[in-house]
Amino acid sequence: MATKYVCNIAINDTTSSQIKYCRILCVYFMIIVHLPPYISDAHIPAFFFPIKIVFYDVFGRASVTAMSFVSGFLIYFSLLELSWNKIVVRRFKKLIIPMAFWNFAMIVFSIIVFLFLGRTLPAYENVRALNLHEILFNSIFSLNNLAASGTLSFIRDLFVCSVISTPLAFLIKRFSWFVIAALLIIYLTISFEPIVFRGSIFIFFALGMVVAQEIGHLKVSTLLRCIYVVVICVVFAIEFGLFSEFYMYDLLKRAAIGLFFLDLSFYLMTVLKIRMVDSFSGATYLIYLSHDIAFMILWGVWNIFVGKDITPVYLLFFFLVPLSWFFVVKHLLRIFKFLPAFGQVLIFGKVRG
């Protein structure tokens, strides 16, 4: 099979394309749960309860861990080609710089909203209670997991995973799957905080590295497919109140949905072969970085012309806005590539010119 190089990783075309599809699926579910008025917290009619379960409690929660798994899978091969120093510099440029830029943008946006509309957004409330030092290191760089744009907080953990990927790879090469068992014990008995605030991200990142070493591809076997289908059925039964939760339920749910994302990505790649995937794949990171501010603005416009109430018509906003943002950002990239290199790195972590 032909090979291609993606981010200095020698992988086959099948795995490369599968990862593109998986990223699109993950980003879609990551952003849809952040639509105002944040359906997970809003007082919503029973009509919306199944939507909350499916899109937030199940698929939304698993999307971050699925992305963490893919990141671990990819970085394992990067370690074969690049030094630790180069990986850290590249990941800082790719993750931390744009995260800081969009956190700062959220702070500015929140101040503008307060000054002109008198409304206080969470970012403004946090900043108002902090001094300049805390704003810089906490709200902008998220050292304490309190980013101004809360939806970007996981990027900080992903960067930390990248920083410790070299010693992690050293352990994985010698102990393989036992590393995952050890990390699970730490996660369930102690904590990874404050090194990593979301332990599941670290677990799945490490799992991706183990799969890269031991398996080398992301195609889901028939056995695993049968297992995750059964687990997902159990998950929905629990989420809809038919069964009770059990020990390590959350991790099992995330693993099952992550396998589903990978399997569905392989199916979409091999059967449907959607031609627009390449263009959307290149836009997924910017879609994620910018969606928080964009959705707040669009929600404000919706309030003016439609209203704040969560009625059936809200479904138009809920389903169409995330899809529309994919198309908008895809075209914005054509404009952003004419920006100076520094500006491109600020906005989406790399130069596309």
Partners of 5 in beta bridges? 10
Token pair belonging to 228: 């995750």
Q: Using alpha carbons only, give the angle 102, 107, 113 rounded to the nearest 5 degrees.
A: 120
Give Cα 314 to chain centroid, integer Å.
Answer: 24
- Per-residue pLDDT tens digits for 175-208: 999 999 999 999 999 999 888 999 999 999 999 9
Distance CA 146, CA 141 (A): 9
Which pLDDT value is given to residue 7?
A: 38
Model pLDDT, residue 352: 75
What residues does 22 pair with on adjacent strands?
none
Token readout for 160 is: 């930390």
Q: Which residues of 230-250 are buried (b: 16+ CB within 10 A; e: fewer)?
A: ebbebbbebbeeeeeeeeeee
> What's the pLDDT score for residue 202?
96
* Secondary structure (3-state) at 196: coil
Residue 127 has phi, psi (to 5 degrees) of: -65, -40
pLDDT at 10: 54
Q: What is the pLDDT of residue 345?
A: 92
Give the pLDDT of residue 212.
94
Contacts of 4 (CB under 8 A, 6+ apart): 11, 12, 13, 16
Q: What is the mean pLDDT of each run of 10 residues along the chain (353 residues)?
A: 39 83 93 84 77 90 92 92 89 94 93 86 77 82 84 92 94 95 94 90 96 92 95 95 91 95 90 72 91 94 89 90 94 88 91 73
DSSP character for 220?
A: P
**What sections of 153-276 are H helices per DSSP?**
153-163, 165-175, 177-189, 199-214, 222-239, 249-267
Q: Considering just the CA atoms, what is the radius of gyration of the chain in Å?
A: 20
Residue ranges in the chain assigned as alpha helix (H) = 13-32, 49-51, 59-81, 84-91, 97-117, 122-128, 132-134, 153-163, 165-175, 177-189, 199-214, 222-239, 249-267, 277-281, 284-305, 314-336, 341-348
Cis omega before residue 37 (within 30°)?
Answer: yes
